[in-house]
Structure 1
Amino acid sequence: MSLATLSDVLLPARDQGYAVAGVVVLGWEDARAYVCAAEAENLPIILQAGPGCRAHTPLVVLAAMFKALAQSASVPVVAHLDHGASLEECRAAIACGFSSVMFDGSRLPLEHNIAETRAVAAMAHAAGVSCEGEIGFVGYASGEASARTSAIDAAHFAAQTGVDAMAVSVGNVHLQKEQSATIDVAAVNAIAAATRVPLVIHGGSGIPGEMRQLLARNTTVCKFNIGTELRMVFGSALRRSLAATPEQFDRIALLKEVETPIADATRVILREIGPLASLT
């Protein structure tokens, strides 16, 4: 199946009452495990290259890897630039073949954020690529505090930028190791009433599974970004692999052991937020 855009997978999710996982990729092993999980569940998947990953691996390499996985997959696969810092970075991702970009102007004043995001969205749409923006600010565990998204600002942002998806701050926090976030469902509903743009929850790892399912089934939240939760699975599986075979030095053999645990954990998330039909 060929590469999909963000709109290709989020619009059906919005209209049919489910969400798609945006999984944070750090290398070949986890990317392949994510796609294997999506194929096993017959559900789409969004492969995300975040700033940390891009600092370690060139953008062109990530694009080639994502495209290769998409072309051989039996389900839609989105190649997504997560937290793009500038128009130039988003342009470079599009030139490499990413099918979706997120411009993160959430630290900017509202009108500046709108202007920058609008320029990225126009560029992306001209290339047949989707664009995600962020309104409000999703903070970080043990770091910057969040600034909540108001429904008024969200509606203004959506109308003025033309984004295909909108990340919102409603109690979610990046990099949480425990599922302890308290989501303001009333705020989500107010935003959803103000705009039909599919909503995105960053920091999905910190949200209890029951709440992720409730948001996926009953609101226009159509995408959960999941990173920390699956990185923790990777670390635990790798430590087990090292402990079980202390004489092993081949990285391929060691890393091969992490793929099944990652795929299994991803399948649980996909079933949790995916369409009800996937549970039967």
Structure 2
Amino acid sequence: MLVTLNDILPDAANSDYAIPCCNVFGYEEGRAIVEAAESLKSPIILAANKDMVDFMGVEALAKMLLSLANGSSTEVCVHLDHTYDEGIVFNAMHHGFSSVMFDGSQLSLEENIRRTKNVAQVAHALGVSVEGEIGSVAYKEGRDHIKSINTSPEDAYRYATESNLDAMAIAIGNVHRLTTPDSVIDYPLLEAIRNRVTNVPLVIHGTTGIKEEDIKRLKKTRVAKFNIGTSLRMAMGSNLRRLMNEEQDKFDKMYFMQKAMPFVQAEAERIIQLLR
């Protein structure tokens, strides 16, 4: 069943659980993630990141992800992840994405507010939810131009109240694409943000790099959405490599993908249970 962030995040923000947002890098991963959510009767967010948009295009991605969402027995939000170009955001809405992220984190506060507000005006008219980012969550690798800027509580307040967005990603020590849990979370900063922002669910990106004890602590705050990509990619890639090395006489892609999918499902189930 297709839903938006507004259908699933507000309750999570006001409770002690959170919703996983899983980056999808192909049909096999998407199907494994949805099957994990169905097995645990949990809502899930399927996210398409910039790499997949560049590779497949918005229209093809929408068809793939919407087919998974509409055919599911659980709530599934189809979300466009970090996107810096409004044209791509509007195209995603046109093709059926139920949620989008306009990432103005590299802009000035005033421009980020103005452009996010413009996106939200269009999105809300179409029944689509909008995520934005204030501060800037850095990348371990792959996007060297992305700054590392912790979120200012005052900027967060202005962004939340003036941009009309539905969910707000913050930077409090979290880092994208870490393969080990090395992030150091700034809890006093989070508390200061929570004290200023009381009406918008918060979002954490870079979950693979966060210790489990920190995730359990964070989900009890107003953090309602955790983005996960790296651990799912590792589950698929590492097991594909192992399986192909074990059976070097085999060459059929579907044979190996079907063998690797249960490992992705198991990782997705672990994440869902961790956030419950």
Q: Report the TM-score range of the alignment, normalised by the length of the smaller protein.
A: over 0.9
The one-letter amino acid of 1:121's match is A
Q: Which residue of 1 aligns with 2:12?
A: 13
- Return 5+ residue gaps in structure 1 as ranges: 275-280
CA distance in 1, matches of 2:88, 2:125: 16
How much has 1:198 moved relative to structure 2?
A: 0.4
RMSD (CA atoms): 1.0
Q: Which residue of 2 aligns with 1:71?
A: 70
1:156-175 equivalence runs, <5 A: 156-175=158-177
Q: Which residue of 2 aligns with 1:47?
A: 46
How much has 1:145 moved relative to structure 2?
A: 4.3
The one-letter amino acid of 2:86's match is L
Q: Which residue of 1 aligns with 2:88?
A: 89
CA distance in 2, matches of 1:68, 1:30: 14
The answer to which of 105-114 and 58-67 deviates more is 58-67
How much has 1:245 moved relative to structure 2?
A: 1.6
* Other structure's SS at 1:78 match: strand
CA distance in 2, matches of 1:43, 1:170: 27
Identity %: 42
1:1-280 equivalence runs, <5 A: 2-142=1-141, 143=144, 144-195=146-197, 196-217=199-220, 219-274=221-276
CA distance in 2, matches of 1:187, 1:138: 14
CA distance in 1, matches of 2:86, 2:210: 31
The answer to which of 126-135 and 195-204 deviates more is 195-204
CA distance in 2, matches of 1:243, 1:104: 40
| Normalised TM-score (structure 2) | 0.96
The answer to which of 187-196 and 115-124 deviates more is 187-196
Q: Is the 8 A contact 2:106 2:147 kept in 1?
A: no
The answer to which of 7-16 and 102-111 deviates more is 7-16
Q: Which residue of 2 aligns with 1:277?
A: none
The one-letter amino acid of 2:209's match is G
Equivalent residues, number:
272
* Other structure's SS at 1:181 match: coil
Deviations 1:236-256 (A, max 9, x none): 110122012211111111111
* Other structure's SS at 1:17 match: coil
* Other structure's SS at 1:249 match: coil
CA distance in 2, matches of 1:40, 1:189: 34
Q: Is the 8 A contact 1:87 1:119 kept in 2?
A: no
